[in-house]
Structures are given as structure tokens and as C-alpha cells.
A and B are shown apart, each in its own frame.
Chain A
Amino acid sequence: GAGVSQSPSNKVTEKGKDVELRCDPISGHTALYWYRQSLGQGLEFLIYFQGNSAPDKSGLPSDRFSAERTGGSVSTLTIQRTQQEDSAVYLCASSQLAGGLGEQFFGPGTRLTVL
């Protein structure tokens, strides 16, 4: 079946603009994660959604970052008033809850460049 998809694959924006990044998880996966991977850095956890529970936002670096997940499927990560330090690859992953062993399936990422 189809894997996790993300759009756009690349986004170049000017400092101060808002951006929206989209993630389509694997159908039926109830858990969805956002990570940030900066150049030369590991994966930085941002936020995760699990079913209808309140999301775990503990990894969001500032109040400029927000995310929502509509209908338990598609998720959008929004960065307001972008800064140059926001430049990174933003990765989305999904996993099953029922009987899950924690394996996450990753999308190809969105490369964000803030000029």
C-alpha cells in the first residue's frame, strides 16, 4: 500500500513568512509524529498525535510552531513568522496503535529553507 507522503518536498520562504507542511499518514495508522532534522543534527521530536487524545506538544521549540490533525488522518505543521534557524528537514512518521510494536514509517520529508 501507499506509504507516508509529505508535501511539498521542498519549500523556500522568506524570513517572517508563515509556512504549512502537510503529512498524509498510512491509512489506519492512529499515531502520527513530526520531527525536525537540522543539518548535521539528529531527529528532534516536535509533536505527536495518538487517536483522539490530546497531542503531546512537548517538543515544539516555540509558540510559532503548531500542528493539527484533522479527522484523525492528515496533519499540518504550521510555522509562523519563520526564522532562518527554522531551516531544516521536517519529517513525518506514522505507526499503528493496535498491537503496535512502535515501528514508525517515515515520509520523505519536507526540506524548508528560510532566506
Chain B
Amino acid sequence: AQSVTQLGSHVSVSEGALVLLRCNYSSSVPPYLFWYVQYPNQGLQLLLKYTSAATLVKGINGFEAEFKKSETSFHLTKPSAHMSDAAEYFCAVTAPYNNNDMRFGAGTRLTVKP
């Protein structure tokens, strides 16, 4: 079975600062990895995904994530935070042979200070 651990339930950054949201996965097979974002009072939407192609994945709104097998990590980054990035971010994992069984992390709430 797969699982993900998101380090830090709350992250606060200043506007313009680097955003780094951490996700580590556990999987017995090469995983597919996802980041979802949930803006206040909205549903979840896909931010980006890794599906065994390029290890550096670019998503919407300037976010990107890098798959590092040696570290079993898939951290989400953005060079410069914007106020509109304030949201909850969820990391998720599936296995390619059973990619409809997705497991989510507990989420990280990002706060952006002016």
C-alpha cells in the first residue's frame, strides 16, 4: 500500500518569499504523485502530477515539484509567494497498476503574509 506524509500542517511565508511544502511518500512500486490545492470555500483541484516522465513537474500558478526517488520525496515549491496562494495543499499517491486507489496526506495550510 502507498502512503504520503506531509511535514508541517501549517506553513507561513511572506509575500514574495519562497514556498516549500514537503511531502514524502512510501510505496513498494514506482508511484504516481500528485499535489492538489483547495482554496477557501472551494473544492479540490489538481495542481500538478508526476507519472514517471520528467522528474521536475511544472503545474499551474507557477508551482513545481521534483520527484526524488533517493529521498522518497515530492516537495512542492514556488519561487515567490503571492497572496492568492493562501490555501490548503494536499499531496497524494497512487500505484500505476492500481491508480484508482489514491491516498492523500493530511494537508498543509499555507498562509501568505503581506
Contact = CB atoms under 8 A, between A and B. Distances in A.
Interface string B89-114: 01000100001111111110000000
Contact-size category for A = 20 to 34
Given A50-B100, A106-B36, A108-B42, 4 more contacts: A33-B102, A42-B107, A102-B49, A104-B102
Nearest to A92: B43
Contacts of B102: 33, 95, 102, 104
Contacts of B106: 41-42
B46 interface: yes
A105 B49 CA distance: 13
A101 B102 CA distance: 11
Interface in B28-44: 32, 34, 36, 42-44
Contacts of A91: 43-44
- Chain B, interface size category, equals 20 to 34
Nearest to A3: B43
Given A107-B43, A108-B43, A43 B104 contact: yes
A31 interface: yes
B53 to A, nearest CB: 10
A43 B107 contact: yes
B45 interface: yes
A56 B102 CA distance: 12
A54 to B, nearest CB: 13
B51 interface: yes
A103 B48 CA distance: 10
